[in-house]
Amino acid sequence: MDTLRVPKPISGGIFLSYKCNSRCRHCMYACSPRWEADWMRLEDAERVMRNLSEAFRGRYPSGYRQVGVNLGLHLTGGEPFLNPDLLLDLVRMADRLGMPSLFVETNCFWAATDESARESLNQLKEAGLHGILISVNPFILEYVPFERTLRAIRAAREIFQANLMIYQEGFLHQIERLGVRGTIRFEDYLRTAGASSMYYAELLPMGRACYELRHLFPRHPAEDFFCMSCRAELTRPWHIHVDNYCNYMTGYCGGISLGDARRMDEICSGIELDDKPILARLVSDRGIELLYRFAVEEYGYRELRKGYISKCHLCVDIRKHIVEQTDEFVELKPEGFYRNLKAEDAVS
Ligand code: SF4
Ligand code: SF4
């Protein structure tokens, strides 16, 4: 029986849900307002956090509070501030369990006034939050007025000081220089800032970006990616994610579940691949070719005439095609990810 050895995670995030006030064109996890608000259940979160705490044991000094994108535990989604009570509960739980480098990731939609922004962050800090990651980019700027982002940054700087991370700082300065007020459509942003404005972007050609930002990338025929395997990404121990359905996900690979994170010991003691043929192919040598041939032969997949921007584009397009025909693959989860990639497919 083939098994996949998955090392214990060394850092990662928990999704409160996939629901977001925004529907960013670059979102790797296809989050949007249309997702069901299936919030992470407290009892599930506790089991997942205990497992992560166990996995992190010995990796961080006791009481470690310094934050870093690839350190410790973060709370994310979707937009965590859509459910402030759950966010507070999870921060308290993480604090009780002594989780290291505990931060929340947000798009700042909630920062309506200076006072309310400070109050929200102070409450979270008192509950045990160590820091915050504020996302700044032209995609979020389509939904979140820039004034709110700046307001949240001011409050976070005051409250979390050095434990404020801005991702990506280059975009913050670019948007400030452009003098943007409110929100702006991405097409107008590109027109104003110029195509070179995207040089800042650490823009991963995965998830929704494969459909909504493909015009920014050169395209290639499927066979250009055939020699690639995804073993490294799918067994990556840093910055793993556990979603609100307890799917254990690695490598920023939205829609691929390695198993149930409530039983993380089963995942980390080796995943049986016999009942996960998609995963089995992806981690093989020439995994992309194997996945492609499987999809063409078994599910009638047809290569996109205009080509693909990345191996992830080919992979996600194939997975989406398969999920539209069958729910038999336990590793292709959650199903909502595939329904919320493209605007025309989005249903609640
Ligand atoms: S990138 Fe962030 S803000 Fe944008 S839709 Fe995804 S979760 Fe929401
Ligand atoms: S090709 Fe698929 S499995 Fe591989 S890294 Fe991209 S999304 Fe993940």
User: Hey, which residues does 75 pair with through a beta bridge?
Assistant: 14, 104
d(CA 99, CA 185) in angstroms, rounded, equals 39
Name the residue with the closest Cα to ligand 1, atom 6. 27
- Residues in contact with ligand 1 by the CB-under-6-Å rule are 20, 22-24, 27, 31, 77-79, 107, 135, 140
Q: How far is CA 163 from the centre of its chain?
A: 21
Full-prediction pTM beyond 0.85? yes
Kindly list the domain boundaries of the chain, sorted by start residue.
Answer: 3-212+237-268+334-345
Best probe residue, ligand 2, of 210, 256, 279, 289 (max atoms within 8 Å of C-beta): 256
Name the residue with the closest Cα to ligand 2, atom 8. 253
Name the residue with the closest Cα to ligand 2, atom 3. 230
Name the residue with the closest Cα to ligand 2, atom 6. 312
Angle at CA of residue 317, ends 251 and 142, nearest 5°:
75
| 3-212+237-268+334-345 CATH fold | TIM Barrel (3.20.20)
CB count within 10 Å of CB 62 equals 6
Q: Which helix (H) or strand (E) holds 76?
A: strand 73-76
pLDDT per residue as tens, the chain (348 positions): 699 999 999 999 999 999 999 999 999 999 999 999 999 999 999 999 999 999 999 999 999 999 999 999 999 999 999 999 999 999 999 999 999 999 999 999 999 999 999 999 999 999 999 999 999 999 999 999 999 999 999 999 999 999 999 999 999 999 999 999 999 999 999 999 998 888 767 889 999 999 999 999 999 999 999 999 999 999 999 999 999 999 999 999 999 999 999 999 999 999 999 999 999 999 999 999 999 999 999 999 999 999 999 999 999 999 999 999 999 999 999 999 999 998 766 543
d(CA 268, CA 264) in angstroms, rounded, equals 6
Strand ranges (DSSP E) for 118-277?
131-135, 164-167, 240-242, 248-249, 271-272
